[in-house]
Structure 1
Amino acid sequence: MFKRANAIVAENEYDDPPMTVVIDAALTRLIKSGQNIDDARGEFDPETIQAIANTSVIGRRYRTSIESK
């Protein structure tokens, strides 16, 4: 996964960014994706969010009670 992430972050095929830059970019994307998903939760059903996010990483959970985060 690091090699794939490195290829995404690199400016060209000869660029080899430091691993800290690659990890920072991946974590930034993960955090932003999480925020986007949380923002969409009140507007869309879980199946739609999962389909749009195109990932199996997102779990669906249905609540019968209100919980505080």
Structure 2
Amino acid sequence: MLALGVPQDWIYIDWGCSGTTRRNCGGLDQALAAVWRGSVFKFDRFARNMAEANQILTDLSDREVLFGLGGSVHD
């Protein structure tokens, strides 16, 4: 990411984050808190189930943050 010009303080990493729960996913929580209105949040495998995905996407939508999945951006 640094080679792509992304500032180091914009890189969020989760160590020990399980594939079955959001426990120990502080990097994801920090990334979600850092987005602002009009920004596009794009990532893969951010949720562990549909309820969690709905919660995250609803929060982003409420904050007027766009969500990018693949090559598409959704509001």
Same fold (TM > 0.5): no
For normalisation by structure 2, the TM-score amounts to 0.28
Q: Which has the larger radius of gyration?
A: 1
Is the strand fraction higher in 1 or 2? Answer: 2
For normalisation by structure 1, the TM-score amounts to 0.29
